[in-house]
């Protein structure tokens, strides 16, 4: 166990990234990220709803919009706790919840991989918040141990890049020009957003972590990646695997940035429509249960 608010040693670099450059990028593109992922999160909550009156935890909660949504679903008799390894995200989530007048929400800085939770939960949720830990099995086991017997895990994770063509194309464009830099002082975000895309691997990790009743439901819903093509190019150059490589090269690649932007424009052009740029996006809605519930056969 690691002390509350202190990340596991192997997650320190990712925590630095999520508390600094990635937090700043997410603030800049907050609306695209939250609106874009919103439908995937709602589909997950519909597939595995939190229990009314339940105690729920939202792992890697970011700005806490999902935590607020979970709080409204469990109702006044329940409580939703948002956990994030990044202090700046938790400060932002607290401010947003206060502004919204949410009463049954709480936010805590913590590393889901190793933190000691101060209570047991009936339900654990995560929208894109569990794939950045260095030790996924340890994170999943820690979450399973925080659940009451029979407690439900519901997580949204990216499926493979090939079915998320905006990411795949951006990466292909950047790969034409750059490799991952060998030397960088910039912190990276750990295993990265696609580290749980393989259902066989994740299913095995969940089993090793002690989960039962593991299910995967494919969710294909378009994602808005820009209000127009320029905005979409800017977004792709700031976030995701392509954005990460560009960030790590910093200002050493200023002369090739316009070429990358022009190629990206072409690669994303077919997704532009009258209401913005909408690209196909594909996630897994993952369900799993902690053993010991009423329905578990012993
Ligand atoms: C891609 S963002 C998703 C944020 C939010 N769930 C959403 O859907 O908008 C990933 C979040 O996970 C958090 N995170 C990364 N590693 C974590 C860990 N080990 N424990 C808790 N939170 C973590 C990051 O700080 C970040 O806020």
- Which CATH number belongs to the domain containing residue 49 in this structure? 3.40.50.150
pLDDT above 90 coverage of the chain, percent: 75
Q: List the residue whose alpha carbon is closest to atom 4 of ligand 1.
A: 62
Is residue 123 included in any domain, yes or no?
yes
pLDDT at residue 244, as a whole number: 81
Could you tell me the pLDDT band of residue 287, with boundaries at 50, 70 and 90? Answer: very high
Is residue 60 included in any domain, yes or no?
yes
Instruction: Evaluate whether 166 touches 229 at the Cβ level (below 8 Å).
Output: no
Could you tell me the pLDDT band of residue 256, with boundaries at 50, 70 and 90? Answer: confident
Q: What is the mean pLDDT of residues 152-158?
A: 98
Residue 128 near ligand 1, beta carbon < 6 Å: yes
Is residue 146 included in any domain, yes or no?
yes
Is residue 97 included in any domain, yes or no?
yes
Q: How many CA atoms lie within 13 A of 287 on its CB side?
A: 16
Q: Taking all residues of the chain, what is their mean pLDDT, rounded to a whole number?
A: 92
Q: How far is 288 from 144, CA to CA, in rounded Å?
A: 9
Q: Which atom of ligand 1 is nearest to the CA of 132?
A: 16
pLDDT at residue 95, as a whole number: 98
Name which residue leads in pLDDT, 84 or 293: 84
Alpha helices (H) along 54-198: 65-74, 87-100, 136-146, 165-177
Pocket-testing residue among 20, 28, 31, 60, ligand 1, by greatest number of atoms within 8 A of Cβ: 60
Separation of CA 198 from chain center:
16
Residue 276 has pLDDT above 80, yes or no: yes
pLDDT at residue 67, as a whole number: 98
Could you tell me the pLDDT band of residue 1, with boundaries at 50, 70 and 90? Answer: low
Is residue 115 included in any domain, yes or no?
yes
pLDDT in tens, 167-207: 889 888 888 888 776 666 677 777 889 999 999 999 999 99
pLDDT at residue 182, as a whole number: 67
Q: How far is 81 from 236, CA to CA, in rounded Å?
A: 31
Q: What is the dihedral of CA 47, 53, 54, 56, to 10 degrees?
A: 80
Residue 212 has pLDDT above 90, yes or no: yes
pLDDT at residue 192, as a whole number: 84
pLDDT at residue 250, as a whole number: 75
Is residue 251 included in any domain, yes or no?
no
Q: What are the start-end ranges of the E strands in the chain?
A: 55-59, 79-84, 105-109, 121-127, 147-158, 212-220, 223-226, 272-273, 276-279, 282-289
CA of 129 to the centre of ligand 1 (A): 4
Say which residue the tokens 């494919």 belong to.
218
Residue 14 near ligand 1, beta carbon < 6 Å: yes
Is residue 254 included in any domain, yes or no?
no
The range of the structural domain enclosing residue 132 comes to: 9-160+186-223+283-289
Range from 113-117, 251-255, 286-290 carrying the lowest mean pLDDT = 251-255
Helices 136-146 and 199-208: crossing angle in degrees, nearest 10, is: 50
Q: Which atom of ligand 1 is nearest to the CA of 193?
A: 1
CA of 262 to the centre of ligand 1 (A): 31
Q: List the residue whose alpha carbon is closest to atom 18 of ligand 1.
A: 111
Could you tell me the pLDDT band of residue 90, with boundaries at 50, 70 and 90? Answer: very high
pLDDT at residue 296, as a whole number: 46
pLDDT at residue 246, as a whole number: 82
Q: How far is 270 from 268, CA to CA, in rounded Å?
A: 6
Is residue 93 included in any domain, yes or no?
yes
**What's the number of domains the chain is made of?**
1
Please state the pTM of the whole predicted model: 0.93
Residue 54 near ligand 1, beta carbon < 6 Å: no
């Amino acid at each position: 166990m690691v002390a509350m608010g202190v990340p596991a040693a192997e997650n320190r670099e990712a925590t630095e990234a999520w508390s600094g450059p990635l937090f700043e990028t997410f603030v800049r593109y907050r609306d695209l990220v939250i609106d874009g992922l919103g439908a995937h999160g709602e589909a997950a909550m519909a597939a595995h709803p939190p229990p009314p009156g339940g105690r729920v935890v939202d792992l890697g909660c970011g700005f806490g919009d999902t935590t607020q949504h979970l709080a409204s679903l469990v109702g006044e008799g329940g409580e939703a706790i948002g956990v994030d390894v990044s202090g700046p995200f938790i400060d932002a989530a607290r401010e947003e919840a206060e502004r919204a007048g949410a009463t049954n929400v709480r936010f805590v800085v913590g590393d889901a991989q190793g933190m000691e939770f101060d209570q047991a939960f009936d339900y654990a949720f995560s929208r894109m918040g569990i794939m950045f830990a260095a030790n996924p099995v340890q994170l999943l086991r820690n979450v399973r141990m925080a659940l009451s017997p029979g407690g439900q895990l519901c997580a949204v994770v990216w499926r493979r890049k090939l079915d998320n063509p905006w990411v795949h194309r951006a990466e292909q464009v950047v790969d034409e020009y750059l490799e991952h830099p060998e030397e960088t002082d910039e912190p990276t975000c750990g295993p990265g957003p696609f580290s749980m895309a393989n259902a066989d691997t994740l299913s095995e990790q969940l089993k090793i972590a002690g989960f039962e009743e593991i299910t995967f439901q494919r969710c294909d819903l378009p994602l808005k990646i820009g209000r127009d093509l320029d905005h979409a190019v800017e977004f792709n150059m700031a976030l995701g695997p392509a954005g990460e490589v560009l960030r790590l090269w910093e200002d050493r690649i200023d002369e090739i940035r316009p070429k990358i932007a022009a190629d990206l424009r072409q690669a994303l052009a077919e997704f532009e429509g009258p209401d913005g740029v909408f690209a196909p996006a594909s996630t897994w809605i993952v369900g799993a249960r902690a053993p010991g519930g009423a329905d578990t056969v012993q």
